[in-house]
Chains A and B, each alone.
Chain A
Amino acid sequence: MSILLNEQSRIVIQGITGSEGSFHAREAVAFGSKVVAGVTPGKGGTDLDGIPIYNRVIDAVEKEGANASGIYVPASFAPDAILEALEAGIKLIVCMTEGIPALEMVKVKKALKGTGSCLIGPNCPGITTPGVGKIGFMPNFIHKKGNVGVISRSGTLTYEVINMLTNLGIGQSTSVGIGGDPIVGSPFVDILELFEADPETRLVAIIGEIGGNAEEEAAEFVKNKMSKPVVGFIAGQTAPPGKRMGHAGAIISGGKGTAAEKMKAWEDAGINVVVNPADIGKKVVSILNK
């Protein structure tokens, strides 16, 4: 088992004819993902390496049985693409797009409520379930099938952690990049909940960063609802206040959202916090060997 992405997932790539979309669709296929369709309005009837392309997401659902979507469209079109997937009944929507205005995401989240569909991202590297497939652009070679769940707000730092685990012989059940924006489809808690319920996952590695309160909410969940061990790291211990550190959501505002506060919340919740990101792998090993 795994979370979100499994053997039943049939993926449609929205924006498949763009340079990002086509490149990552091919990478996903090389990784073994079931990419069953692509969507680009106006390009319906063509194909990418034999993957049929449609004008509308609903066509990909009805004709190819698509139930998961990966979105690679520019920021000004991405909220519409998410809503289209939602309306077509897609249950897992993963949006890689960076730069969507926060207020657009506020509206998208209201639309998602109560639908039973799950949005990952935006501004994220996607999801990978080793042995099954991926949606997004995590590099193919870093993964190994196993029992550690990985959740993170960043991209390359997540690859570092996954790679570190793989090099130590520790595989992953699923790795999820939730995205670096202030409002994301699925904050930490939603994913922790899934890992807690997943029989395959024995431990969760979580990588947070400055800004917002998703880490504090995760702490609350871990403290009250989580039985599995959690190892955590917070990036931005040296970040100055009031400055946006690359990610739209990574900003200390009004003295709130500092790494120190978040690390304290995690420690109080029983999360195994490492101060040095290079120690994440070692910490995971030591807990799994206990």
Chain B
Amino acid sequence: MKIHEYQAKRIFVEYGIPIPDGDVADTPEEVREITNRIGKKVVIKAQIHAGGRGKGGGVKTADSPQEAEKVAREIIGMNLVTHQTGPEGKRVKRVLVEEALDVEKELYLGIVIDRSRDQEQPVIMASEAGGMEIEEVASKSPEKIIKVGANPVGSFSSFQGRKLAYGLGMDKSIVSKASKIIEMLYRIFMEKDATLIEINPFVLTRGGELLALDAKINFDDDGLYRHPEIKGLRDLEEEEPLEIEASNTGVNYIKLDGNVGCMVNGAGLAMATMDLIKLAGGAPANFLDVGGGATAERIEKAFRILTSDKNVKAILVNIFGGILRCDRVASGVIEAASKMNLNLPMVVRLQGTNVEEGRKLLEGSNLKFEVAEGLFEAAQKVVALL
């Protein structure tokens, strides 16, 4: 789960990580008031769940409350397009207004779970190349990234912070301050079940202060059950409405750009089915995993979700029955399709437990299905129906 920068910064404050003076605002008037209170030059930052906001015109400075209000009028309500939003962009509802800092150095701090076999633990990273995309730094000049693995069995040790702080070339006067910030970041990571924390840039001001100029935290969806306070930070408006509906019904759905809707059981098979559609010359409209207990009710919901995408011109149902019996799936499909008056062309492929009974049910129904046996045959048949 993703949260906004201002939400991440509130968590930082709870843990004593310094952030610039500022506040969040929904209207240009509020922006003016906040700027007035701060009493100096400010930065106004669009709050959306995507990086690259500055380049897209979503981050601007203002010297006075009047100018801040004017700038806010441009940003609030704008459709912000960045390399992470896709061409359709995202509407800005809210901005963060912060004091502009006199920056001496832009650094980077981050924590991720390193999945490599020799790590399999959180890894804290620091770099002098702050303000740049860290992926770019990693590929162009990996030597500029210092890492320290953090074994969660046992607590954080100060040497880990010192290793990174001295590695960043910090003056000894601020090393312990930096080390403390790193320790607090690690505590957030562990205590809140984060999967990623980034401060980019992490800045050193000319006055010798260290602050988090930006803040990004992603959380482990599987850990949310034990963090109701984090769950409450979810911004549904940042998510695809169909994906929200699907997640509420226990169906795993992700909208894509193609026109072949697919309904599959199992995530791996669902991905493979998308790949097969592409190989057959079509384009998948979605990823959809109906899950293990695909009841008639669940199948109906899945159909409703995938057909609400107006791009869908044909449907492929691909089920491998294990514990889930094919005859059950077949009756579920028939029931849902007739109830919904589904008139899109459809190919149904069933394999596994009770497959013959399932196929008989499909053939005996008065609905129009094409039946396929092979994996690739199913994809070819559905593409031919477009």
Contact = CB atoms under 8 A, between A and B. Distances in A.
B223 A245 contact: no
B135 A255 contact: yes
B346 interface: no
B222 A157 contact: no
Nearest to B277: A238
A195 interface: no
Given A110-B121, A213-B115, A278-B374, A248 B222 contact: yes
Contact of B153 (A110, A247, A249): A110
Contacts of B122: 103, 106
A101 B113 contact: no
Given A154-B266, A160-B375, A278-B374, A103 B113 contact: yes
Contacts of B311: none
A159 B264 CA distance: 13
Interface string B89-118: 000000000000000000000000101110
Given A100-B222, A103-B223, A247 B268 contact: yes
Contact of A278 (B265, B276, B277): B276
Which bracket fits the contact residues of A? 35 or more
Contacts of A233: 272
Nearest to B193: A101
Nearest to B280: A276
B199 interface: no
A259 to B, nearest CB: 8
A156 B254 contact: no
Q: Give the residue among B120, B268, B353, B374 with the most A Cβ atoms within 10 A.
A: B268
B276 A277 contact: yes
Nearest to A164: B375
Nearest to A207: B268
A229 interface: no
A252 to B, nearest CB: 12
Which bracket fits the contact residues of B? 35 or more
B322 A138 contact: yes
Interface in A95-148: 99-103, 106-107, 109-111, 137-139, 141-142
Nearest to A153: B268
B284 A238 contact: yes
B271 A236 contact: yes
A275 B279 CA distance: 9
Contact of A156 (B113, B117, B222, B265): B265
A185 B266 CA distance: 21
Contact of A245 (B134, B190, B267, B278): B267
A205 to B, nearest CB: 14
A258 to B, nearest CB: 12
A75 B276 CA distance: 33
Interface in A230-272: 233, 235-240, 242-250, 254-256, 259
A154 B268 contact: yes
Contacts of B382: none
A18 to B, nearest CB: 14
A204 interface: no
A156 B320 CA distance: 6
A227 interface: no
25 contacts: A100-B222, A101-B223, A103-B193, A141-B352, A142-B352, A156-B268, A157-B269, A158-B268, A159-B320, A160-B320, A163-B352, A183-B115, A187-B117, A214-B117, A217-B117, A236-B275, A238-B277, A239-B271, A239-B274, A243-B254, A245-B271, A245-B287, A275-B279, A277-B375, A279-B376
